[in-house]
Each structure stands twice: as structure tokens, then as C-alpha cells.
Amino acid sequence: MIKITESQNREPVFHLQAGDASYIFAVFHGFLLHLYCGPAISDDDPEYLLVRVNHDSVVPRPADTPESWFSPDIAPQECPVWGTGDYRPSALKLRYDGGCVTPGSSATALRYVSHEIVKGKPVIDRQPAVYADENEADTLIVTARDPSAGVTVRLYYTAMRDLPVFIRRTAAENTSTAPLTVERIFSASLDFTGWGERAELLHLWGTWGRERHMERTPLCHGSVSVSSRRGASSHHHNPFAALVSEKTTETYGPAVGLSLVYSGNFEIAADTDPFGSVRFMAGIEPTDFAWRLEPGETFVSPEAVLSVSGEGVGKMSRAFHRLYREHLCRGEWRDRERPILVNNWEATYFRFDSDKLAAIAKDAADCGIEMLVMDDGWFGERNDDRSSLGDLFVNEEKLPGGLKPLTERIRALGLKFGIWFEPEMISPRSKLYEAHPDWALGTAGRPLSVARSQYVLDMTRADVRDWLFETIAGVLSSADIDYVKWDFNRNLTEAASAALPPERQGEILHRYVLGVYELLDRITAAFPHVLFEGCSSGGGRFDPAMLYYFPQFWTSDDTDAMERLDIQLGTSFVYPASAMSCHVSASPNHQTGRETSFVTRGHVAMGGAFGYELDLTKLTPEEKDLIRRQVAEYKRFAPLVTRGDLYRLILPGDTMNGRAGCCAAWMYVSPDKTEALVTFVVIRTTVHPVYFLRLEGLDPAGLYEDEASGVRYRGDTLMRAGLNLTKTWRDGESVMIHLLRVG
Ligand code: GLA
């Protein structure tokens, strides 16, 4: 819902309401000023929220200053621009070639011009974006203009009706008479005044094999920020951060999550000024970004999603989950339970042939597994990671007769078949590189860095993308293929393109991302039945934009169940369980050497899209029996995991019964609260551990039965007193409790 009232100055005040959250901003003498973003409030004109602080003489005032106290440096702005008196980080910085302002200058001023409300959420361009129809959302479009340079900026605000979610986007149109360069354009920027309690930034950091670990850090006067400059959203920081208070918990306190729907360089920053106002902003990281706009051209930013909660970060996450599951993921697989698969990577690495795959598939079929995925190594001369990326023709020594006979063998066993690709890469040792050395992204006259012995293809080039489309489509049409794992195993360096003029080289990193999106659009549209899974050396590109094309993503190359607790629970701050690919692998684990029981590996992997990643032919009959049971269990629980509401009960770093880091627990609850699945894992045991696990999300008046023991509890008892899990636990032991409502 979007309400517009008039302020005392007879200028518009915009009150956007999404679910039970409010976002309010106002026009104040032409400036767009932020007033409030948080749990819903009912006053339509809370102009008193505007802090009128007296400032000192070093703070500039614009020539058309409306009131003596006013300065852009202090005012809470919706789209802060560079060069006209707001010295905090800007959301927009433009450099003008000339026109009506000094050639080469960069000062910009914006004043409100008009606004418009549209039902639903308009499609602005082809970048990945949340979709919503006219019954699901309303969008406000505010137009502002620089009166001197003549540039026009449009700010898009979508308010979801049933979710506490606002979506923002910024578009800059060159309506001046000369070209200009966009040097900085953020998707969203909000100035929070009066946050009160000490504010913290909650974010997800990581590295390869250790993605999305949650960390909270106090804000300071100055900037606290997370970013990627790697050409991809990265393992190192996820394009997400939440502003919380030091007292915020899973169930208590304010949380405003900001998630950027983008797969390239990004920055999310919280900048605190001397008056305690916090500028919270997200957008493209500007280090190597410079986008030329000719007169008449527009640049549209990626979109930023704000999830607002007054009751802790759990609620913030559940709003992200529903939004991304139902309004970002697309296609035939969006709402479907995913096939339980076995992937041969950790089973064989590069050493496999058709017979080996068929042997794994036979055991898989015997255990009830539904799909075999053939990973890296099936093409060119790829017997290790030093060659052949780009040579997507079948290695007939490994797969005699090509893909068709193999897929027929797998299908005859009743299994679906999936395949691995890493399309955006090129090995220096490949036929493709011999034929097209200029297709590698790179700076001429400078040796190219290698990572995993490979270069990156220049995805900014239409001819490269066309060739990739034809080649991938050729493989996917050559046999019955149900699933694709789309990998991306290195970051970008020496980014330059032979196909672009000098003044456009600053566009490369963004153009790369747009090129990937274009290719993914074409491939996913041409093969609508295929289930696509994203991957990037594990979860190095696990971002919302990828979920627009792939309904699931390989969460991490670290398959150790104990490590996965941090990774999966961290990932769950933004991403739904349906999007997290989680596999049971061998013990001792290949990445850490840790031994964990088969049961616990299964319980942890059932926290997402479930599968196996081990050599089934080497398992004991008892282990195969366990797989049969796990497969049957997961088939029953999949609807709950895929579409239920997630409650994080204990994070691995939390304190339980006086000890930090000893347990982890989470639960899924069906939307109608008739069913719940609780998982409890003991990471490090102690003598006589006493554990009471307080549940969440149940109906307090409901009567729930523990399916295994038949014991019945009231919802309020489970949520207030908790489940008594006191017994002797071993390290790495776990339990899954299925509760059904019986009254
Ligand atoms: C990446 C992926 C792995 C596997 C290998 C194959 O590391 O994350 O799952 O596919 O590539 O080379």
C-alpha cells in the first residue's frame, strides 16, 4: 500500500506499507528526505522525525537553502549525490563531459520533479529482479532532476503487500546535451536517524570451503562495509548485510536486511555520522566502474531488497525466504521437490568412465536415489584441472559413443541424468584458445593471471555468448539431460575487452555480469524442463541474482557436516532451504579429515536440496540400508524443508546450558503449523549434558505428537519449557524430531 499526503510545505510525503512494515520519506523543498523504515507506524505525516540540528560553519548549505538549519550534509537523504555538500558516501556520482556545466566536473544536485504509482512491479530491464503482480505489490516511481546539468534520476520503490519487504532501484538518464560517465550508482541508500541502541552490522563473510559465516560487528563513527571487487559476488562476502541493534536476537529487536540482487562487484556499507545517523546503502562497488551515457541513454542499477523486522533476525530471514522462493526463483522447478541425486565428484574426481558411472547409478537406483550427476572431466582431454575448458566435446575414451549411450544406460536403471559445465572459462591448453585467443578476457600487452590453470571468457562479447549458446544447446540436445550444474571456478583479473573502445573499458566488470545474465536467460528459456544448479567453487556466487536463473546452488565444496552447520545456518540468513544444495559425503571427510556418523551427515544434508557425493559402490550393506532409510525420510520431509518456515534455534557459536559452541539446532514448521521437523546436533559433548531445546513457530494451543516416541506436548510447553534432550551425547551425534499436530 502506498499513501501520499501533503506536508506543511504542501509537498508530498510518501508512506509505503509492506506487510507490517513502514517506509516513509518526504519531499522537503525539493530534497528527498528519509523519515522512517521499520515496523509499521500509523501516522502519515511524521514530519517531527526530521531532526533539525544546528550545525557549524564548515557544513555547507545549498544556494537555494530552504531553512537556516538545513544542510545536505546532515539531512537524511534518499538519494545522496556527490559534490554539493553531502560529504558522506554518495549514492550517485556523475562526471559530465560538458553541456551546461564545466567539462569534467562531477558536482550533482537533485530536486524532486514528479511521482507516479503503478500496481504490481514494472519490468524495467532484463536484469534479474523480483516479480510481483498487481495483487502482490505496489510501486512508487519518483523522478528527480539536476536543474543545472539537466540529468534525470528515477527512484523505484516497490512495497510487497504480504511481506515486510521493500525493493529499491535507481535509474540515471542522461537528459543533458553532452555525454556523461556514471562513476557511482547505488541501488538503495537510507539514512537512519535515532536508531537508539548501539547499532551493529550483521553480515556473511567467508572464503572457499567456508562460505557465509555470520558475523556481527558494532558500527563506529565512520564506515563499516562489506564488498567484493573480484568480478563475482564471491565466497568472501555475500551481497547482504543487516542493520541490527546490539540487543537484537533471533526473536527480539529491530533488523533491516539489505540484499543486493547482483552477481558482480558490490558494496554494502553502514556509515555513521557525528550525529549518530546511519547511512545504510547497497550497490555496485565503484573501484573499477565507469559507465558512459550518451544523451538519451539510461543506466539502471541492480535492485536492492530490504527485509524489515521488529522481532529479530529470524523474521527478517523468513521474509527473504518467501520472497526469493516465490518471487525471484522461476521456472518449472521453482515449487517442486528436487530429485535426490548422487554426484560423482567426490566419488571419482576426474577418474571415471561410463562403466564406473553406470556402477554408481546401479547402486543409486537400488537405494532409491533418483538422479546421477556426471561432474567435471567428461569432455576434451580433461583428466585434471589443467586443460580443456572450452572444448565441450565428449571424451570418447571415457564415454564411448558419446553421451547418448551413457544416458540411455542410466535411464534404463530408472534414474534421471545430470551434467556439469563451466561455460564461462577457457583453458590456455584448449582447442578453443588455439582458435580464439582474443576470446579470453584480458589486457593486451600484459600476461594474464591464471587461477586453477584457467582464463575467463570475455562474456561482454556477443559472439562469445552466441558460440556458448550454440555449444551448450548442442550438448543438451544430444541426449536426455535433466539437470545442469553450472560452475564458475575463478575470479576476474586484468579485466579488459578487445571488443570495446577505451572510454568503455570501465564498463567491463558490469558488462561481464550482464553478459552472463543474457546467456542464462537464453539457455534457461530454451531448456525449460532442465533443473539448473549454480556452483562457483562451491558457493562463491550464491547470490539472489543467480537464483533468478537457478532455483538451487551448490552451497559449499566443504561437505563436512560440522562445517556445514556454520555454512548452512549462515546461508539461511537470506536464502531459503530449497535453494541450498546439501550432500552426504564420505567419512573421513575429504576436506577436513573429520569423521562423522552416517546418520548425522544425513540429518545435516537434509537441511536443503538433498543428495549424495560419494562412491556408493564402496559402501557396506548397512550403509546402503541407511541410505534407503534416509531417502525415504527425505521424501516425506521434503515439502516441509522446501516450503516450510525456518526457525534457527541454536547457532553453532551460541551458548547452550552455559557453554558456547557445543550444539546447533533448527526447525521447519509447515505454514499451517500442523507439522514440524526439528534437527539438533551436538558438536562437542561434555559430562552429563543437560539440554532443553525451546522450539518456535508452533501453535501454542496445538497438541503435537513426537512421531518416534508417541509423546504428546502442547505447543506452548515446547516453546516455553522446551524439549528435554538430556542424555549422554557423543561428539557429532544428532537427532531429528518429527512433530505432528494431533489436536
Ligand atoms: C568446483 C565445484 C565442485 C566440482 C569441481 C569440478 O570446485 O565446486 O563441486 O564440480 O569444481 O572441477
Taking domain 646-741, whether its CATH number is 2.60.40.1180 is answered by yes
Give the predicted TM-score (pTM) of the model: 0.98
* Closest residue to atom 2 of ligand 1, CA basis: 537
**Length, in residues, of the chain:** 743
Shortest-distance atom of ligand 1 to CA 420: 10
* Closest residue to atom 11 of ligand 1, CA basis: 537
Q: What is the mean pLDDT of the chain?
A: 96
Average pLDDT of the residues in 64-91: 91
CB 554 less than 6 A from any atom of ligand 1: yes
CB 489 less than 6 A from any atom of ligand 1: yes
Q: Judge contact between 694 and 648, C-beta under 8 A.
A: no
pLDDT at 275: 87
Range(s) within the chain of domains with CATH label 2.60.40.1180? 646-741
The pairing of strands 609-613 and 580-585 is: parallel
Of 39-53, 120-134, 236-250, 433-447, the one with minimum mean pLDDT is 39-53
Shortest-distance atom of ligand 1 to CA 538: 8
Q: Which among 401, 402, 391 has a CA at the least distance from the CA of 426?
A: 391
- Residue 556 CA to ligand 1 centre (angstroms): 10
pLDDT at 206: 98
- 397-432 pLDDT, tens digit each: 999 999 999 999 999 999 999 999 999 999 999 999
pLDDT at 196: 72
Say which amino acid occupies 506: G
CB 535 less than 6 A from any atom of ligand 1: yes
* Residues in contact with 602: Cβ distance below 8 Å, sequence separation at least 6, in sequence order: 584, 626, 630, 633
- Residue 346 CA to ligand 1 centre (angstroms): 9
Calculated CA dihedral for residues 64, 68, 73, 77, nearest 10 degrees: -70
The band of 590, judged by pLDDT with boundaries at 50, 70 and 90, is very high
Could you tell which of 375, 378, 419, 486 is best to mutate to test the pocket of ligand 1, judged by most ligand atoms within 8 Å of the CB?
375
CB 542 less than 6 A from any atom of ligand 1: no
pLDDT at 657: 83
CB 78 less than 6 A from any atom of ligand 1: no
- Residue 341 CA to ligand 1 centre (angstroms): 16
Shortest-distance atom of ligand 1 to CA 536: 8
Nine-digit cell string for 8: 506543511
Q: Chain-centre distance of CA 555, in angstroms?
A: 11
Q: What is the spatial distance between Cα 621 and Cα 641, in angstroms, rounded to a whole number?
A: 28
CB 260 less than 6 A from any atom of ligand 1: no
Q: What is the spatial distance between Cα 574 and Cα 241, in angstroms, rounded to a whole number?
A: 9
Could you tell which of 537, 555, 583 is best to mutate to test the pocket of ligand 1, judged by most ligand atoms within 8 Å of the CB?
537
CB 346 less than 6 A from any atom of ligand 1: no
The band of 197, judged by pLDDT with boundaries at 50, 70 and 90, is confident
- 269-314 pLDDT, tens digit each: 999 998 899 999 999 999 999 999 999 999 999 999 999 999 999 9
* Closest residue to atom 12 of ligand 1, CA basis: 376
* Residue 396: burial class (beta carbons within 10 Å; 0-12, 13-18, 19+): exposed
Nine-digit cell string for 364: 543409486
CB 375 less than 6 A from any atom of ligand 1: yes
Average pLDDT of the residues in 34-55: 84
The band of 104, judged by pLDDT with boundaries at 50, 70 and 90, is very high
Nine-digit cell string for 181: 560517465
Residue 487 appears among annotated catalytic residues:
yes
CB 537 less than 6 A from any atom of ligand 1: yes
Q: Three-state DSSP class for 623?
A: helix
Which comes out higher in pLDDT, residue 275 or 508? 508
The band of 205, judged by pLDDT with boundaries at 50, 70 and 90, is very high
CB 558 less than 6 A from any atom of ligand 1: no
CB 557 less than 6 A from any atom of ligand 1: yes
Residue with cell 540540528: 53
Q: What is the spatial distance between Cα 387 and Cα 382, in angstroms, rounded to a whole number?
A: 6
- Residue 582 CA to ligand 1 centre (angstroms): 14
Q: In the beta sheet, which residues pair with residue 24?
A: 15, 36
Residue with cell 539431460: 481
pLDDT at 69: 82
Range(s) within the chain of domains with CATH label 3.20.20.70? 341-562+602-638
- 441-460 pLDDT, tens digit each: 998 899 999 999 999 999 99
Sign of the four-CA dihedral 646, 209, 418, 610 = negative
Assign domain 2-56+63-327 to a CATH class. Answer: mainly beta
Calculated CA dihedral for residues 520, 130, 255, 661, nearest 10 degrees: -30
* Residues in contact with 64: Cβ distance below 8 Å, sequence separation at least 6, in sequence order: 29, 30
Nine-digit cell string for 147: 536543474
578: part of which helix (H) or strand (E)? none
In degrees, rounded to 5, the angle at the alpha carbon of residue 450 between the alpha carbons of residues 505 and 383 is: 130
Q: Judge contact between 742 and 697, C-beta under 8 A.
A: no
String of b and e for 115-148 (b: at least 16 CB within 10 Å)?
A: beeeeebeebeebbbbebeeebbbbbbbbbbbeb
Q: Three-state DSSP class for 682?
A: strand
CB 127 less than 6 A from any atom of ligand 1: no
* Closest residue to atom 6 of ligand 1, CA basis: 376
Say which amino acid occupies 214: M
Instruction: Please state at what angle helix 508-526 crosses helix 462-477, rounded to 10 degrees.
Output: 30
Shortest-distance atom of ligand 1 to CA 485: 10
- Residue 383 CA to ligand 1 centre (angstroms): 14
Could you tell which of 348, 421, 557 is best to mutate to test the pocket of ligand 1, judged by most ligand atoms within 8 Å of the CB?
557
Q: Which among 598, 475, 573 has a CA at the least distance from the CA of 526?
A: 475
Shortest-distance atom of ligand 1 to CA 557: 8
- Residue 538 CA to ligand 1 centre (angstroms): 7
Q: Which among 305, 243, 247, 310 has a CA at the least distance from the CA of 278?
A: 243
Q: Judge contact between 277 and 243, C-beta under 8 A.
A: no
pLDDT at 281: 98
Q: Residue 377 CB: number of other CB atoms within 10 A?
A: 22
User: Please, what is the end-to-end C-alpha distance for the chain in angstroms?
Assistant: 37
Q: Which among 401, 347, 398, 353 has a CA at the least distance from the CA of 369?
A: 347
Could you tell which of 420, 491, 552 is best to mutate to test the pocket of ligand 1, judged by most ligand atoms within 8 Å of the CB?
420
pLDDT at 222: 95
CB 250 less than 6 A from any atom of ligand 1: no
pLDDT at 63: 83
* Residues in contact with 629: Cβ distance below 8 Å, sequence separation at least 6, in sequence order: none
Average pLDDT of the residues in 656-664: 91
Concatenated DSSP letters for 510-572? HHHHHHHHHHHHHHHHH-TTSEEEE-BTTBTT-SHHHHHH-SEEE--S---HHHHHHHHHHHT
Nine-digit cell string for 641: 524443508
The pairing of strands 2-6 and 692-693 is: unpaired
Out of 86, 271, 376, 487, which one is annotated catalytic?
Answer: 487
Average pLDDT of the residues in 336-342: 96
Q: What is the spatial distance between Cα 61 and Cα 566, in angstroms, rounded to a whole number?
A: 48
Q: What is the spatial distance between Cα 507 and Cα 495, in angstroms, rounded to a whole number?
A: 10
CATH H superfamily, domain 341-562+602-638: Aldolase class I (3.20.20.70)
The answer, yes or no, to whether the previous bond of 218 is cis (omega within 30 of 0) is no
Q: Residue 255 CB: number of other CB atoms within 10 A?
A: 27
The band of 514, judged by pLDDT with boundaries at 50, 70 and 90, is very high
pLDDT at 50: 83
Q: What is the spatial distance between Cα 555 and Cα 580, in angstroms, rounded to a whole number?
A: 6
The band of 333, judged by pLDDT with boundaries at 50, 70 and 90, is very high
pLDDT higher than 90, residue 724? yes
String of b and e for 600-609 (b: at least 16 CB within 10 Å)?
A: bbbbbbbbbb
The band of 59, judged by pLDDT with boundaries at 50, 70 and 90, is confident
CB 376 less than 6 A from any atom of ligand 1: yes
**Radius of gyration over alpha carbons of the chain, in Å?**
27
pLDDT at 68: 79
- Residue 356 CA to ligand 1 centre (angstroms): 19
- Residue 376 CA to ligand 1 centre (angstroms): 7
Q: What is the spatial distance between Cα 301 and Cα 185, in angstroms, rounded to a whole number?
A: 7
- 2-18 pLDDT, tens digit each: 999 998 889 999 999 99
CB 538 less than 6 A from any atom of ligand 1: yes
Sign of the four-CA dihedral 351, 353, 359, 364 = positive
CB 487 less than 6 A from any atom of ligand 1: yes
- 111-132 pLDDT, tens digit each: 999 999 999 999 999 999 999 9
* Closest residue to atom 7 of ligand 1, CA basis: 537
Nine-digit cell string for 478: 544430444
DSSP assignment letter at 81? B
Out of 73, 86, 543, 557, which one is annotated catalytic?
Answer: 557
The pairing of strands 255-261 and 303-309 is: antiparallel
DSSP assignment letter at 90? P
